[in-house]
């Protein structure tokens, strides 16, 4: 993963939202996932990435939409690089906001996006404006109004699906994922998980990567980083975050956190607006 040419990060004081603006050249980031909904707009250049087993190219004015857990990477296609604005939105917050828009939406549903990219000019403008209001720290009512416009525009690009509680396609992979989620802070090995699930570790690794796009160890690191990020945002000391997220110590957390987010845990924690 290359370092961004520059990066700005702000966290909303009242709502579970982060706003990031960044510029990358070359290889931007390796395959990874987030536990948030991502809504962004490419400002300049062409952002090339893989998601949903397809290659996408987001050009200036294009909106890109990613669901929680959706694997994606990122690259620039030329030396000019690319610039984007992006909002990280908490799933429960997004669901409630859109349920308010869909007065007849069924209960116990998952929100999905109909497509990854959109040329919807209204959605692009609403995303741009919501980002700017949050990033500039406008008054709460102004920020809420901008988000209301964004969620209203998103209704044209979302749909509901009943959660899949039973997995018939690859039950072993989902069992392994649940195992890691339950033992997030433990020093578990692939061999430990294989024994617990009654399979050999080669089959376990193969089926997990086929289902989720990453080998188990890489997926576990992503899970731990996501958990650490939430704890840091809640104001918990980095040393305690490391212990509660499965990292050996604060230094270990710091190395992985800088690699993933281009910031130290302490700097991320105290950010309100961080031009790099």
Domain topology for 171-270: Arc Repressor Mutant, subunit A (1.10.10)
Pick the CATH number of 6-161 from 3.40.50.1100, 2.60.120.10, 3.40.50.360, 3.40.718.10: 2.60.120.10
Q: Let me know if the fold of 6-161 is the same as that of 171-270.
A: no
How sure is the predictor about 50, in pLDDT bands with cuts at 50, 70 and 90? Answer: very high
Is residue 153 within 8 A of residue 123, CB to CB? The reply is yes
- pLDDT of residue 155 exceeding 60, the answer is yes
The neighbouring-strand residues paired with 249 are none
Backbone angles phi, psi at 268, to 5 degrees: -60, -40
What local confidence, expressed as pLDDT, does residue 276 receive?
Answer: 33
Average pLDDT over residues 245-259: 93
Backbone angles phi, psi at 172, to 5 degrees: -65, -45
What local confidence, expressed as pLDDT, does residue 110 receive?
Answer: 74
- pLDDT of residue 44 exceeding 50, the answer is yes
Question: Bigger pLDDT: 51 or 106?
Answer: 51
- pLDDT of residue 239 exceeding 70, the answer is yes
Average pLDDT over residues 196-208: 95
What local confidence, expressed as pLDDT, does residue 105 receive?
Answer: 62
Average pLDDT over residues 27-49: 93
Q: What is the Cα–Cα distance from 48 to 29, expressed in whole angstroms?
A: 11
What local confidence, expressed as pLDDT, does residue 168 receive?
Answer: 53
How sure is the predictor about 158, in pLDDT bands with cuts at 50, 70 and 90? Answer: confident
Q: Please state, as a whole number, how many other Cβ atoms lie within 10 Å of the Cβ of residue 52.
A: 13
Q: What is the pLDDT of residues 67-116, one digit of tens each?
A: 999 999 999 999 999 999 999 999 989 888 877 776 666 666 677 898 99
Average pLDDT over residues 29-47: 94
Q: What is the Cα–Cα distance from 236 to 37, expressed in whole angstroms?
A: 23
Domain range summary for the chain, segments of one domain joined by +: 6-161, 171-270
Average pLDDT over residues 233-240: 91
- pLDDT of residue 123 exceeding 70, the answer is yes
How sure is the predictor about 274, in pLDDT bands with cuts at 50, 70 and 90? Answer: very low
Tokens 């828009």 correspond to 101
pTM for this predicted structure: 0.84
Question: Bigger pLDDT: 74 or 170?
Answer: 74
What is the crossing angle of helices 171-182 and 201-212, to 10°?
Answer: 90
Q: Reduced to 3 states, what is the DSSP secondary structure of residue 81?
A: coil
Backbone angles phi, psi at 221, to 5 degrees: -60, -45
Mean pLDDT of the chain: 88
What local confidence, expressed as pLDDT, does residue 119 receive?
Answer: 95
């Amino acid at each position: 993963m290359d370092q961004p040419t520059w990066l700005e990060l702000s966290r909303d004081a009242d709502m579970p939202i982060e706003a990031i603006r960044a510029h990358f050249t070359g290889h931007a980031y390796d395959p990874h996932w987030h536990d948030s909904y991502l809504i962004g707009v490419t400002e300049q250049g062409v952002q090339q990435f893989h998601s949903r087993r397809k290659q996408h190219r987001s050009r200036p004015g294009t909106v890109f939409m990613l669901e929680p857990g959706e694997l994606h990477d990122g690259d620039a296609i030329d030396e000019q690089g690319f610039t984007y604005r992006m909002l990280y939105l908490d799933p429960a917050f997004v669901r409630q906001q859109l349920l308010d828009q869909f007065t007849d939406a069924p209960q116990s549903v998952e929100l999905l996006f109909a497509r990854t990219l959109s040329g919807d000019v209204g959605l692009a403008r609403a995303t741009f404006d919501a980002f700017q209001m949050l990033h500039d720290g406008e008054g709460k009512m102004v920020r809420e109004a901008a988000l209301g416009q964004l969620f209203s525009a998103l209704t044209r690009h979302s749909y509901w699906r009943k959660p899949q509680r039973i997995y018939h396609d690859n039950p072993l992979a989902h069992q392994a994922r649940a195992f890691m989620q339950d033992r997030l802070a433990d020093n578990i090995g692939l061999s430990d998980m294989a024994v617990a699930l009654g399979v050999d570790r080669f089959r376990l690794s193969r089926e997990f990567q086929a289902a989720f796009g990453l080998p188990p160890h890489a997926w576990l690191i992503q899970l731990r980083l996501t958990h650490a990020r939430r704890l840091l945002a809640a104001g918990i000391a980095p040393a305690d975050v490391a212990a509660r997220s499965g990292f050996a110590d604060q230094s270990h957390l710091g190395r992985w956190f800088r690699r993933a987010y281009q910031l130290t845990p302490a700097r991320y924690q105290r950010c309100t607006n961080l031009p790099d």
